[in-house]
Amino acid sequence: MRDGRTCRRLPRSRLPVAAAMLVGLGPATGPAQADDGFDLTLPPDLSAAAVTADATPAASLDSSGIADYVATWEDRVARARATQPGWASPLVTTTGLLEQRVRFDAAALQSGNGTSTAALDGGKGLDMIVTDSNEIRFALPPYNIRTGAPAAIANGQPIPPLSGFGDWTFLRIEQRLASSPASAGDYILSAWLQVLAPSGIGRLSGGAWTWLPTFAYGKGWGDFDIQGTLGVALPASRAGMLGHPVQNNVALQYRIRPQLWPEVEANWTHFPDGQRAGLDQVYVTTGVVAGRFALGDRLGVTVGVGYQIALSPPYRPIPLTPAYDHAWLFTTRMSF
């Protein structure tokens, strides 16, 4: 008896059942939690049907976006080309223009130590315009075939022949910063980053991963244009030997026919440190680029030939400077 009322005690065996009923029927005041505060409420429906229903719109959106990107590729390339000058790419100086093409170059080099080298490709390859202002290059590794030289020509030590791949600038990402077609300002300003892998055979490799940031520029006045680049090599290792060479190229072109571009180039490398510290390697290149010759609605071919000669420094056998004395250069490009 309590406060005039009789309290009946439930049998001990029924207490768990009553407690369960109270818990099950009591008001919901919040998610169930364990003693340590973790939420013990059941997760949402994770059945296969629910997951499929939720994922289907996202999957459709992703596939639709990729399909739209591919379907508008030609329009994107056309817009990129329409908003920049229509110059030819020089033989040696890398253009700042966005290009979509396959390029293959070859060179016949004659060095001061008496060796001759056939250099195939030179790090060119596939250029793709991926946005209205971006290009990506997937390059092929260069392949060199070099003759030997007898001791009488090679300053007392014979040079054995060799053939193999050189270091590989396998990737280049370009951002066009500003541009205008010939109908307006007729100029270009771009920047890119190349990555060089030390993948060459021992005698053709610098032995270090290298970053190659570069700025490119160009300006046209009617049929005349000037294109140039300024960059530096930043090795990740062996900098004491390789140094940080600064590379500067300038090409002057004059169009004498709609598809004929005679040119002269100056190609200069300054070595502020490393094994060639204080030296300046300078080449002059003369040549002509012809194209783009249409092969259909989208395809076009461009060819070029030139002759390059070293102006400085005077020949040094160790380290070999300049890298070669003179060279014939050849280029082919297939645009699409």
To which H or E segment does residue 69 belong?
Answer: helix 48-71
The closest alpha carbon to 284, from 226, 333, 327, 232, belongs to 327
User: May I ask the CATH class of domain 73-335?
Assistant: mainly beta
Summarize pLDDT for 44-86 with one digit per residue, the tens.
444 444 444 454 555 555 778 888 898 999 999 999 999 999 9
Give the separation between CA 162 and CA 145, rounded to whole angstroms. Answer: 6
* Residue 82 vs residue 121, higher pLDDT: 82
Poorest-pLDDT segment among 13-22, 62-71, 284-293: 13-22
Reported confidence tier of residue 33, pLDDT bands at 50, 70, 90: very low
144 three-class SS:
strand
Which tokens is 203 given? 């005698």
The residues near 282 (Cβ < 8 Å, ≥ 6 apart) are 266, 267, 268, 269, 310, 311, 312
What are the C-alpha distances in Å from 34 to residues 30, 31, 37, 38?
A: 12, 10, 5, 5
Supply the pTM of this predicted model. Answer: 0.79
What pLDDT, in 10s, does the model give residues 177-192?
999 999 999 999 999 9
Contact 306, 105 (CB under 8 A): no
Tokens of 118: 């056939």
The mean pLDDT value for 310-330 works out to 95
Report whether pLDDT(286) > 80. Answer: yes
What per-residue confidence (pLDDT) applies to 63? 74
Domain ranges of the chain: 73-335
Cα(256)–Cα(263) distance, rounded to whole angstroms? 11
Name the residue with higher pLDDT: 81 or 43. Answer: 81
